[in-house]
Amino acid sequence: MTSKIYILIGPPGAGKGTQAKNIANTKDFVLISTGDLLRENVEKRTELGQIAKSYMDKGEFVPIELVARIIKSNIEQNLGKSGFLFDGFPRDLSQNALLDEMLKEFNLDVDKVIYIDVKDEAILERLTNRRVCPKCKKVYHMKFNPPKKDELCDDCEVPLITRDDDKPDVIKNRLATYHKSTHPLVEHFEKGGKIIRINGEKSPKEVENQIIANI
């Protein structure tokens, strides 16, 4: 059986991480999330994980070639599974070329790209209203999922915080980077008829149902 290859794309704050986990569980896909894979390899002290750790300990980005080797190793171990779902890779056209080369080695190709479409204004509202408990890490939304007591965690009763990357100027920079580097992938896959466009401004469950219905 040939494994299907799906890629999840969307702006920061579109809910890709949550949707990726839900879809992978529902469809029994192998989830390839670059951040999770790196952490897993570091924890297991694999050879590639140890090399990655040497960069992470210095606060440096792990070279994309090393990330690609870790991804390739994961594909190799799971060949024959019904599908792979990529979250966080590729982030731009050059990384996509790297993925194409990798998939060719296994006689695989990208089947569909799930594009969670959310307008910038909605992303700004979504992220600037997000709060996190510094103690238990529970996430709240001041509009859609507020704490019972104003700005206090329901469980720990400590003041909630706004993450640095949820501040308006940082969000705008992240969105600018996304539009410049990652969004061209949408146009690239659209030409190949591989895009599944999802309205990401619906509730998380409605977004999940849209995706499941299309794959």
Mark whether 45 is an active-site residue.
Answer: no
Mark whether 163 is an active-site residue.
Answer: yes
What is the C-alpha separation between 7 and 84, in angstroms, rounded?
8
pLDDT of residue 101: 93
What is the C-alpha separation between 114 and 208, in angstroms, rounded?
11
Q: Which fold would CATH assign to domain 4-118+181-214? A: Rossmann fold (3.40.50)
Catalytic residue among 21, 27, 69, 91: 91
Backbone CA torsion sign across 97, 64, 106, 1: negative
Catalytic residue among 81, 174, 194, 197: 174
Mark whether 69 is an active-site residue.
Answer: no
pLDDT of residue 36: 83
pLDDT of residue 49: 86
In sequence order, the 6+-apart residues with CB closer than 8 A to the CB of 119 are 201
What is the C-alpha separation between 14 and 163, in angstroms, rounded?
16
Catalytic residue among 44, 104, 163, 202: 163
Report whether the peptide linkage leading into residue 159 is cis, meaning its omega lies within 30 degrees of zero. no
Catalytic residue among 4, 16, 53, 72: 16
pLDDT of residue 1: 63
pLDDT in tens, the chain (215 residues): 688 999 999 998 898 988 999 999 999 999 998 878 888 888 889 888 898 888 878 777 788 888 888 899 999 999 989 999 999 899 899 999 999 999 999 999 999 999 999 999 999 998 999 999 999 989 898 988 899 998 899 999 999 999 888 889 989 988 998 999 999 999 999 999 999 999 999 988 999 999 999 98
